[in-house]
Every structure is written in structure tokens, then in C-alpha cells.
């Protein structure tokens, strides 16, 4: 058996003990308190990595193993899923490289490798580490973007809730800062919900709105016109003076919509008329 094959076999046969040693030295270099579950997971990760490295060295194959790419992507996705940061991955990379190089040098010297073989292995390690970190970060970013979109979709769904308060009557509470995108979202989400729930009267409550300008006010009140075409009555509540002024400046015609100070007053008016 040549020396390079002996090194490869050593990596694979003793992968777990080598991984433990590497993780301990990385933690020392980082100088941070690491929770034990993360340490245990790191040992598993590096144990698997050493197996891929052994295969690559043994076969003299300079291409990147597909298994290593999938492994790296899985690590990135796992880090994103647990709420980690990409900076946490990058932070561990320099000390990881140094520890790996030092450990591999010790193993190569132990097996009396020639200088050119040691340099080839060192080059292979660096190349695999670079590709691995790239794939890990790319996968982290993709998974993080996916998770953020899911959260945003959930927030969007909650941004236009149509809340039934009694038979055929519902409230659309508007809360927070209103901008063009959110106004458009409310139009797209709320109107279909009203139709689906067979609402006959929708109370649009503005009491939770922080800021609104003339353009957005008009956009929101366009919901009233759409609902009227669907045969749904709409009532505005919680209109503070500054909001009413913004609506008037936006060309909103209040004469076609009933307004009340509170949702309670609006519901009482509805009940008195039936």
C-alpha cells in the first residue's frame, strides 16, 4: 500500500476520533462557549467530511464528489432552519482550515509522505474546503430566503384578516403603517375573502392605522367601490381627523359610505336596521 492510500485509510478508519480532535482545537481557536449539542453535531459533520476526503485522496480524483456537495448543502439548510446566521458559518471557516491543515500535515508526516504528495493532499484539502463552504453558504441563503418568504406570506395573510362578528357581518381591521404594497395586498386578499364568506356588510376599521397619505387612502377606499359592485355594503370606523383629511385630499367621496367612530357603534347601527 502506498503512503497516500495509507493516509486515506487512516482518515476513514479513525474519522470519528480525528473529528473529535479537530472540533476541540477549532473551539479552542474560536474561543467561544459552544453548546454541547452543536459540538456533537460538528463531530458528526467532520466525521462525514473526513470520509469524503479519504475517498478523494485515495482515488486521486480532483473533481468534487457529488456526496460532498449534497452534504455541504444539507449543512447550510440545517443552519438556516435552526435560525443561524451566515456569519456563524464564515466565522468558523478560517480556524477550521488551519486546524485541518495542521492535522493533515501531522498524519502525512506520520506516514512519511513525500513533499510532493503532501503538497497535493494539502491542495486537495483546500480545494474541497473552499467548494464546501461555498455550497454551504449558497444553500443557507436559498433556504433562508425560502423561510423568509414563508414568514412574509404568513404576515401578508394576517395583514388582511376578514373577521366575522355576526351572521353576514365582518370586520376588516387595518393596523400599523399603510403603504402602496400593503394597500394592494389588502385589496387582493380581503375582497375574495368577503365573497367566499358570503359577507353582506364589511366594517373597515381604521383605528389601528398609524400613518396614511392621500394616495393610499384612496386606494383603501377603492375597496368600498369593489364591494358595492359585489352587492356588499361597507362601513368605515375609527377615522381620526388626520386620516379623514388625507382621505379627502385623495379625492375620496364620503357621501357614498357610512362612517362611525367605533366598530361597536357600526354593529349597533346594523342591528337597528334589521
High-pLDDT (> 70) share of the chain, %: 89
Q: What number is the average pLDDT over the span 180-190?
A: 78
* CATH for 148: 1.10.490.10
The residue range of the domain holding 121 is: 3-155
CA dist., res. 56 & res. 67, Å (int): 11
Instruction: Kindly report, residue by residue over 70-104, the tens digit of the pLDDT.
Output: 878 888 888 888 887 888 778 778 888 888 888 88
Q: Are residues 145 and 192 in the same domain?
A: no
Confidence bin at 30 (pLDDT 50/70/90): confident
Q: Are residues 175 and 247 in the same domain?
A: yes
Q: What number is the average pLDDT over the span 113-117?
A: 86
Arithmetic mean of pLDDT over the chain: 81
Q: Are residues 151 and 244 in the same domain?
A: no
Q: Among the three residues 155, 171, 198, which one is the final residue of a domain in this structure? A: 155
Q: Among the three residues 155, 186, 213, which one is the final residue of a domain in this structure? A: 155
Q: Are residues 242 and 175 in the same domain?
A: yes
Q: Are residues 9 and 127 in the same domain?
A: yes
Q: Are residues 186 and 148 in the same domain?
A: no
**Ranges of H-type helices in the chain:** 3-13, 15-30, 36-59, 66-81, 86-110, 115-159, 180-196, 214-229, 241-249, 263-272
Q: Are residues 164 and 115 in the same domain?
A: no
Residue 138: the pLDDT is 92
- Can you give the pTM of this predicted structure? 0.55
CA dist., res. 145 & res. 116, Å (int): 44
Confidence bin at 194 (pLDDT 50/70/90): confident
Tell me which of 180 and 53 has the higher pLDDT.
53
Q: Are residues 146 and 227 in the same domain?
A: no
- Count of structural domains, the chain: 2
Amino acid at each position: 500500500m502506498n503512503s497516500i492510500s495509507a493516509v486515506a485509510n487512516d482518515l476513514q478508519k479513525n474519522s470519528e476520533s480525528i473529528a473529535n480532535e479537530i472540533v476541540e482545537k477549532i473551539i479552542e481557536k474560536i474561543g467561544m462557549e459552544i453548546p454541547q449539542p452543536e459540538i456533537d453535531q460538528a463531530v458528526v459533520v467532520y466525521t462525514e467530511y473526513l470520509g469524503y476526503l479519504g475517498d478523494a485522496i485515495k482515488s486521486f480524483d480532483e473533481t468534487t464528489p457529488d456526496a460532498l456537495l449534497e452534504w455541504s448543502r444539507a449543512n447550510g439548510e440545517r443552519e438556516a432552519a435552526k435560525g443561524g446566521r451566515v456569519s456563524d458559518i464564515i466565522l468558523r471557516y478560517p480556524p477550521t482550515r488551519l486546524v485541518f491543515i495542521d492535522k493533515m500535515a501531522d498524519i502525512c508526516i506520520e506516514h512519511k509522505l513525500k513533499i510532493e504528495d503532501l503538497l497535493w493532499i494539502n491542495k486537495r484539502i483546500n480545494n474541497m474546503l473552499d467548494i464546501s463552504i461555498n455550497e454551504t453558504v449558497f444553500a443557507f441563503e436559498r433556504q433562508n430566503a425560502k423561510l423568509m418568504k414563508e414568514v412574509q406570506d404568513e404576515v401578508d395573510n394576517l395583514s388582511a384578516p376578514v373577521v366575522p362578528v355576526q351572521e353576514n357581518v365582518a370586520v376588516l381591521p387595518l393596523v400599523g403603517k399603510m403603504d402602496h404594497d400593503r394597500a394592494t395586498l389588502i385589496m387582493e386578499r380581503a375582497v375574495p375573502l368577503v365573497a367566499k364568506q358570503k359577507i353582506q356588510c364589511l366594517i373597515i376599521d381604521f383605528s389601528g392605522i398609524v400613518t396614511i397619505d392621500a394616495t393610499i387612502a384612496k386606494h383603501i377606499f377603492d375597496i368600498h367601490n369593489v364591494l358595492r359592485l359585489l352587492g356588499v355594503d361597507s362601513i368605515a370606523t375609527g377615522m381620526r381627523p388626520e386620516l379623514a383629511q388625507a382621505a379627502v385630499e385623495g379625492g375620496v367621496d364620503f357621501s357614498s359610505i357610512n362612517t362611525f367612530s367605533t366598530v361597536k357603534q357600526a354593529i349597533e347601527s346594523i342591528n337597528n336596521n334589521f
